[in-house]
């Protein structure tokens, strides 16, 4: 817990200064979590602001201040989920306007403009993003919280208010689907997959330049 319970209670009582302190304490962590959940750095601040706005208006419903962090996690997951759903609808309509070749060319131009390290990070993000697109938005968020954010099953139980066994089953199924997609990708492009999992940086593809 990054803040004491007293501060949470003061914020619940409508003290704006206390709420401001809550924002200062958690904003960096929330920004990071949202970045990893949605995979779009450019939209992270907007979604994180939405989390804090929702927190402000729902804080009075929090009965036990000890549950503040799971509560905040739940709001984060919900906001990320809403964003992903909207994004999927937007992408469906936008991508349908472009031919496949145009999409590939747009990706290539974007890739060639980044430097090596940024390029590697962007490729990791794209690779994981495409693997996570194999599962539903709900499972994507759950898997990211467990595998990337490192939340324990106990913590996830508090966030989702679902019993541990049900979470284990969902996580297992989601991971199996991602593994299957990863295996397929390795079969198709072993060199690419090896670059990311072997810890070696990827040089930008000269054919794109």
Nearest distance in Å: CB 90, another protein? 21
Cα–Cα distance measured from residue 37 to residue 22, given in angstroms and rounded to the nearest whole number = 21
Q: Which is nearer to another protein, 127 or 156 (CB)?
A: 127
Nearest distance in Å: CB 154, another protein? 20
Nearest distance in Å: CB 165, another protein? 21
Residues that bind another protein (CB under 8 A): 20, 23-24, 27-29, 31-32, 35-36, 39, 41, 44-45, 48-50, 52-53, 56-57, 120-122, 124-125, 127-128, 131, 147-148, 175, 178-179, 182-183, 186, 193, 196-199
Q: Which is nearer to another protein, 3 or 31 (CB)?
A: 31
Q: Which is nearer to another protein, 45 or 107 (CB)?
A: 45
Q: Which is nearer to another protein, 128 or 167 (CB)?
A: 128
């Amino acid at each position: 817990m990054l803040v004491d319970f007293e501060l949470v209670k003061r914020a619940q009582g409508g003290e704006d200064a206390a709420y401001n302190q809550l924002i200062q304490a958690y904003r960096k962590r929330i920004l990071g979590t949202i970045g990893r959940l949605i995979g779009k750095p450019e939209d992270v601040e907007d979604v994180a602001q939405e989390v804090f706005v929702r927190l402000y208006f729902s804080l009075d419903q929090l009965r036990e201040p000890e549950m503040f962090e799971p509560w905040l996690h739940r709001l984060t997951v919900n906001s990320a989920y809403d964003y992903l759903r909207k994004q999927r609808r937007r992408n469906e309509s936008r991508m349908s306007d472009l031919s496949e070749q145009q999409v590939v060319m747009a990706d290539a131009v974007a890739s060639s403009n980044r430097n090596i390290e940024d390029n590697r990070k962007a490729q990791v993000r794209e690779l994981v993003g495409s693997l996570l697109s194999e599962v539903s938005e709900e499972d994507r968020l759950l898997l990211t919280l467990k595998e990337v954010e490192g939340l324990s099953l106990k913590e996830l139980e508090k966030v989702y208010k679902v019993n541990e066994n049900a979470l284990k089953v969902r996580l297992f199924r989601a991971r199996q689907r991602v593994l299957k997609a990863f295996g397929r990708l390795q079969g198709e492009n072993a060199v690419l997959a090896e670059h990311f999992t072997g810890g070696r940086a990827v040089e930008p593809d000269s054919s794109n330049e």
